Amino acid sequence: MIEKTYYAGIDIGSLSAETVIIDSDKNIILYNIYPTGANSEAAGKLSFNQALSQAGLVRENIKTIVATGYGRISVPFADKKVTEISCHGRGAQHLFPQTGAIIDIGGQDSKGIQVDKNGKVSDFCMNDKCAAGTGRFLEVMARTLELKLSELGEYSLKSKEKIAISSMCTVFAESEVVSLIAQGKAKEDIVKGLHTAIGTRVFNMVKRMINGGQVTMTGGVAKNAGMVKVLEEKLGMKLNIPEEPQIVGALGAAIFALESK
- Model pLDDT, residue 37: 85
Are 130 and 57 members of one domain?
no
C-alpha span between 214 and 150 (Å, rounded): 26
Angle, to 10 degrees, between the axis of helix 84-95 and the axis of helix 248-259?
90
The residue that leads in pLDDT, 172 or 218, is 218
pLDDT digits (tens, 9 = 90+) for 140-165: 999 999 999 999 999 999 999 999 99
Are 164 and 194 members of one domain?
yes
Are 25 and 57 members of one domain?
yes
pTM of the entire predicted model:
0.91
- pLDDT of residue 4 exceeding 90, the answer is no
Mean pLDDT to the nearest integer, 152-179: 91
> Within a domain: residue 32?
yes
State what percent of residues in the chain have pLDDT above 90.
77
Are 225 and 132 members of one domain?
yes
C-alpha span between 214 and 240 (Å, rounded): 7
DSSP letter assigned to residue 115: E
C-alpha span between 261 and 250 (Å, rounded): 17
Mean pLDDT rounded to a whole number for the chain: 92
C-alpha span between 142 and 128 (Å, rounded): 21
C-alpha span between 148 and 121 (Å, rounded): 35
Note whether 80 and 66 are within 8 A (CB): yes
Per the structure, how many domains does the chain have? 2
Buried b (16+ CB within 10 A) or exposed e, 192-230: bbbbbbbbbbbbebbeebbeebbbbbbbbbbbbebbbbb
Are 227 and 112 members of one domain?
yes
User: Which amino acid belongs to residue 257?
Assistant: A
Are 51 and 156 members of one domain?
no
What is the pLDDT confidence band of residue 1, given thresholds at 50, 70 and 90? very low
Are 148 and 223 members of one domain?
yes
Give phi and psi for 219, each to the nearest 5: 90, 160
The CA-atom distances, in angstroms, between 127 and each of 187, 189, 261 are 27, 26, 33
Are 133 and 231 members of one domain?
yes
> Within a domain: residue 93?
no
Beta strands in 82-237 (DSSP E): 99-105, 110-115, 121-127, 214-218
pLDDT digits (tens, 9 = 90+) for 95-132: 999 999 999 988 778 899 999 988 899 999 988 666 67
Are 107 and 186 members of one domain?
yes
- pLDDT of residue 247 exceeding 90, the answer is yes
- Model pLDDT, residue 119: 87
Are 177 and 134 members of one domain?
yes
Are 53 and 156 members of one domain?
no
pLDDT digits (tens, 9 = 90+) for 60-109: 999 999 999 989 999 999 999 999 999 999 999 999 999 999 999 887 78
> Within a domain: residue 1?
no
Q: What is the CATH number of the domain that holds 14?
A: 3.30.420.40
C-alpha span between 240 and 171 (Å, rounded): 32
Domain that holds residue 197: 99-241
pLDDT digits (tens, 9 = 90+) for 13-41: 888 999 999 999 999 999 999 998 889 99
Are 105 and 207 members of one domain?
yes
Three-class SS of residue 69? coil
> Within a domain: residue 36?
yes
- Model pLDDT, residue 84: 94
The CA-atom distances, in angstroms, between 227 and each of 159, 172, 174, 200, 209 are 13, 20, 18, 11, 19
